[in-house]
Amino acid sequence: MEDTAYFQLRTRVEELLSGLEEVEREILKRRFGLDGRKAMSLEETARDMGLDPEEAAAREREAMCALRNGKG
């Protein structure tokens, strides 16, 4: 039962993320550990992706806003 619920949740998360731009999707995956790795700080994520921390923060805000508004 738990495996099915986990699979359904992972599937739904992937569906939501698929509606985002690639950079935004990658930022959220790395920030929240959705790629199978441990969650990263904003600074770690920015450095790992070669982004300015302010740009990474802005892209993260845009992605979260899009998800809240059902655009993800």
For the chain, 72 residues long, give each residue's pLDDT as a single digit of tens: 678 888 898 899 999 999 999 999 999 999 999 988 999 999 999 999 999 999 999 999 999 999 999 876
**What pLDDT, on a 0 to 100 scale, did the predictor assign at position 6?**
85
**What pLDDT, on a 0 to 100 scale, did the predictor assign at position 2?**
74
**Reported pTM:** 0.86
36: left (phi over 0), alpha (psi -120 to 50) or beta: left
Nearest to residue 69, comparing CAs of 30, 61, 23?
Answer: 61
Nearest to residue 63, comparing CAs of 6, 8, 18, 3?
Answer: 18
**What pLDDT, on a 0 to 100 scale, did the predictor assign at position 32?**
95
